Structure 1
Amino acid sequence: MRSLKKMGDGRLSSFKFFWSTHKWVGIIIAVVVLNFAVTGFLLLIKKQVAWIQPPENRGIAVNTFGVTFDDVLSACQSDPTLAVQTWEDVDRLDVRPGKGILKVRTANRWEAQIDLSTGEVLQVAYRRSDMIESIHDGSIVADWVRDWVLPAAAVSLMFLVFSGLWLWLEPAYRRAQRRRRSA
């Protein structure tokens, strides 16, 4: 990195300081912003793209609950793709009574859609949206990335806004002063 020009008394000019800092923070934060943009876009279109999130099916009857939790576990155990042996292998259940289905998300990111009235497995598919979300919020690396790095990235973005304003306004202010002096 080139050395910054110093003022006559050895201090850095605020413009030079903000110029250099703005440049390096911008380069570093660009990676984070690119990650947000790409994964955010994928999350926005997840309902329209079956590769990201499996489309929802409809059960035979809506607002009807004819299955028990034991039926749900048995249905999940019947499909080897899900790799479900016990409830420990299930990440979450998502009940959609209006569509007559129950979604079972497994710890290995597979999803089964089960008919709420019959207990029949309607669909088994890989669910990438949860992985994309963990990339988006940084938790795929570690929880501390989500808790510490992303807030630091937010502060860095605010710094870029304010330093960018300074880099734009300070020269304009100097030009206006020079014009007033010469007039």
Structure 2
Amino acid sequence: MNDIKDSSRRLRFYRKIHGALGGALFIFFTLIAGTGLLLGWKKHSGGLLLAKSYAGASTDAKRWLPIDSLQRIAFRTLHDSVSANLSTNLDRIDIRPQKGMVKFVFEDHYWGVQLDCTTGQVLHIERRRSDFIEHLHDGSYFDSLLQVGDQPIKLTYTTIMGVSLLIFAITGFYLYYGPKRIRKQKQARSAKAVV
């Protein structure tokens, strides 16, 4: 009888943890699930979440303009076509050799400029929605919003959510398995009582 009581007590304990954790972190679990779903579909969104990568005139790197010239064109394009107030701090320069194209991705906002590496022609000015969604997904958006260096919010957020999800999975498994175990214990006890 003590085995059944211990199992029932443990089951109630896990149910409390599971319920409290689910209730407390519901919004964050929903945010992670929703943004994860969007990120999974970004390449299949018809350009809504992830802009198409356009092709330049040549894939021969010998014919390309120097990076500093392309960078000046990208900065001028950003200021002339989007807003003169936007920062030109670069997050990365993404060269696509197989397309003869370069993307300039900015650090302080979600705009990007695609240029033809050979001619410097603007191929596309993109709103980088997938970057925004990714930053929401991993919590780094809040570090940027509050201008906190070293991403302490992202680290705390991902640690809490990772550990919580692990606890959620363990308690969820026990909530599934526990009642089956108690039922087997009761059946075994009943069988002994009959004998």
Q: Which has the higher helix share?
A: 2
Q: Which has the higher contact order (CA 8 A, sep 6+)?
A: 2
Q: Is the 8 A contact 1:92 1:105 kept in 2?
A: yes
Structure-2 separation of matches of 1:104 and 1:175: 62
SS of the residue 1:51 aligns to: coil
SS of the residue 2:44 aligns to: coil
Q: Deviations over 1:140-170 (max 9, x none)?
A: 1122232122222221122122222323333
The list of structure 1 runs, each at least 4 consecutive aligned residues, that deviate by more than 6 angstroms after superposition, is none
Shift of 1:17: 1.7
User: How many residues matched?
Assistant: 171
Q: Deviations over 1:90-128 (max 9, x none)?
A: 221100111010111123221111111111112112111
1:145 aligns with 2:143: no
Number of the residue aligned with 2:65:
67
Q: Is the 8 A contact 2:75 2:88 kept in 1?
A: no
SS of the residue 2:112 aligns to: strand
TM-score of the pair, normalised by structure 2:
0.76
What value does the CA root-mean-square deviation take over the aligned residues? 2.4
Q: Is the 8 A contact 2:55 2:101 kept in 1?
A: yes
Number of the residue aligned with 2:103:
103
Number of the residue aligned with 2:117:
116
Percent pairwise identity = 28
TM-score of the pair, normalised by structure 1:
0.81
Q: Is the 8 A contact 2:71 2:104 kept in 1?
A: no
Q: Is the 8 A contact 2:88 2:106 kept in 1?
A: no
Structure-2 separation of matches of 1:96 and 1:72: 14
Matches within 5 A, 1:80-91: 80-81=80-81, 89-91=89-91
Number of the residue aligned with 2:54:
57
1:41 aligns with 2:42: no
Q: Is the 8 A contact 1:76 1:84 kept in 2?
A: no
Q: Gapped runs of 5+ residues in structure 1?
A: 1-11
Structure-2 separation of matches of 1:171 and 1:60: 66
Number of the residue aligned with 1:128:
129
Structure-1 separation of matches of 2:95 and 2:16: 53
Shift of 1:19: 1.5
Say if 1:84 and 1:67 are closer, same or farther in 2 by CA, change over 3 A. Answer: farther
Q: Look up the equivalent residue of 1:112 and give its one-letter code.
A: V
Say if 1:170 and 1:41 are closer, same or farther in 2 by CA, change over 3 A. Answer: closer
Q: Is the 8 A contact 2:70 2:115 kept in 1?
A: yes
